[in-house]
Chains A and B, each alone.
Chain A
């Protein structure tokens, strides 16, 4: 296993002295060579989990092992073998792309003779060879994000932690980064990627762990999670609020789960709608039939409302 967390708890104390568990009994295993998507809403504990793995946060309870090294006791050894792409853009703006990578090549103990080759390779992976001598503050948002990825890869790590790698980016830039992450995954590097973008997890992750309130509440491949929690098909009913409430009532009485999707209500496991209920449910509504997706699972398991 590349990563093993067992019963990990991390508490913070509020200004008023209240103790809050950001991570609350987290158990998670990430096998070697797998891309695991850590899914969850904001505040689920994903970023804290990432910081626990680098020992920038210290667990109050439980055990953590990364690439065979116990954390935090052997954190330095573990950090040398992994690369981290943070959610926050913390590039050194005054340095060029190349200089940013050279500094981190040193920090990651790349032998002096190999620094230039390592930096060139990282620039190539991130498609930044042509902008190597541009200062970081002169790069576009997408280029900066790619430079952050390159920085995490400059020492050819065995494990990469990607913390919300595409948050706040344009769709085109996001797609560009997805290509980069897919290539990483194809090269056999173990990837732990936290995200709250469902599509990102569906496209990139071999397996997903859904986090809510500091713990994992479901794991499996995207297909398994969809099959287990949302079924094959979904019917989305559009109508006034009272009609949507009526559809929910009918579905629940038939044992079918539902979720609100803005101005519509979605009936999950639609393949199990009995013929006797089908007409009542439709009742002249505008109905969109579609395949169940990971977003249905996400909302089902983590709740429909935002904390």
Chain B
């Protein structure tokens, strides 16, 4: 049996998922509660608060504009934080990966298992704002069914970014630099709460290299109508982002776990 072990095997990925599913069965109620309540609060605050002042943005009702933007922010936060904190804690404090790597498992398989679980969970839960928006009067295009594909793709990249970041920081407190210095600007320069056309010209190129911007565009186009050529470009940008983060995350974890 052991002579047939390949460079990449699904068994370690299933092993990681087995663990996560066991925990999810315990915590699904609180996770689901948070994923519904948070976008509801956002939509109430921004949609009805700002919405009463703004009315329409970029041709959409502001509450619909925000509802689709919140999908992307939910994707960012529910993928990058587990990527950063969970992997840092498991590697540094719990030494879980030392145990796993003593089994027939390689670093890239651990990364694949962790990132895929985070991406799927984040991608599915990030669709909750769409459901909440329906209650706020959103009338989506049929393309809305593609939203989970885009959120899973985006979450893959950000989960891997978080895993990579966990290998770069010298201590858990250093995540503050990443949260304030990287994630906050990403979150604001992505067209989530206001269109990027409202930003100064110098900020436009920054928005275009921001993976979250591509996610926001894809979600809005899925809900309000696809722009095929542009959307191919957005998907390509997210694929490049995920591939680059995969390379960095695996290299970083290997450097930290194998000496």
Query: Footprint of B on A, CB under 8 Å?
Result: 12, 51, 54-58, 76-77, 79-81, 84, 86, 88, 90-95, 99, 102-104, 106-109, 151
A57 to B15, CA, bound (A): 23
B108 to chain A, nearest CB (A): 12
**Closest Cβ neighbor of A79 among chain B residues:** B104
B2 near A81 with CB under 8 A, answer yes
| Chain B interface main SS type | helix
List of A residues within 8 angstroms of B1 by Cβ = 80, 109
A104 to B100, CA, bound (A): 8
**Closest Cβ neighbor of B3 among chain A residues:** A77
**Can you give 11 A-B contacts (C-beta < 8 A)?**
A57-B259, A76-B105, A80-B103, A80-B104, A84-B99, A86-B95, A88-B95, A88-B98, A92-B94, A102-B18, A106-B18
Q: With an 8 A cutoff between CB atoms, is B101 at the interface? A: yes
A20 to chain B, nearest CB (A): 13
B5 near A76 with CB under 8 A, answer yes
List of B residues within 8 angstroms of A109 by Cβ = 1-2, 5, 11, 104
A91 to B12, CA, bound (A): 17
**Closest Cβ neighbor of A57 among chain B residues:** B259
A54 near B102 with CB under 8 A, answer yes
List of B residues within 8 angstroms of A86 by Cβ = 95, 98-99, 102
Query: Footprint of A on B, CB under 8 Å?
Result: 1-3, 5, 11-12, 14-15, 18-19, 22-23, 26, 94-96, 98-106, 257-259
List of A residues within 8 angstroms of B95 by Cβ = 86, 88, 90
- Interface core residue of B1, B95, B98, B102 (most chain A CB under 10 Å): B102
A77 near B11 with CB under 8 A, answer no
A77 near B19 with CB under 8 A, answer no
Contacting A103 at CB < 8 Å: which of B18, B106, B258? B18
A102 to B15, CA, bound (A): 8
List of B residues within 8 angstroms of A55 by Cβ = 258
B29 to chain A, nearest CB (A): 16
A58 to B259, CA, bound (A): 6
List of B residues within 8 angstroms of A94 by Cβ = 23, 26
A81 to B102, CA, bound (A): 11
Whether A108 touches B103, Cβ cut-off 8 Å, given contacts A80-B5, A86-B98, A99-B19, is yes
**Closest Cβ neighbor of B103 among chain A residues:** A107
A80 to B6, CA, bound (A): 12
List of B residues within 8 angstroms of A58 by Cβ = 258-259
**Closest Cβ neighbor of A108 among chain B residues:** B103
List of A residues within 8 angstroms of B26 by Cβ = 94
Whether A90 touches B96, Cβ cut-off 8 Å, given contacts A56-B102, A107-B15, A108-B104, is yes
List of A residues within 8 angstroms of B11 by Cβ = 106-107, 109
The 10 A-B pairs with the shortest beta carbon distances in the complex, nearest first, are A84-B102, A90-B95, A106-B15, A80-B2, A80-B104, A107-B103, A107-B15, A90-B99, A79-B104, A77-B2
List of A residues within 8 angstroms of B259 by Cβ = 12, 51, 56-58
B17 to chain A, nearest CB (A): 9
**Closest Cβ neighbor of B105 among chain A residues:** A107
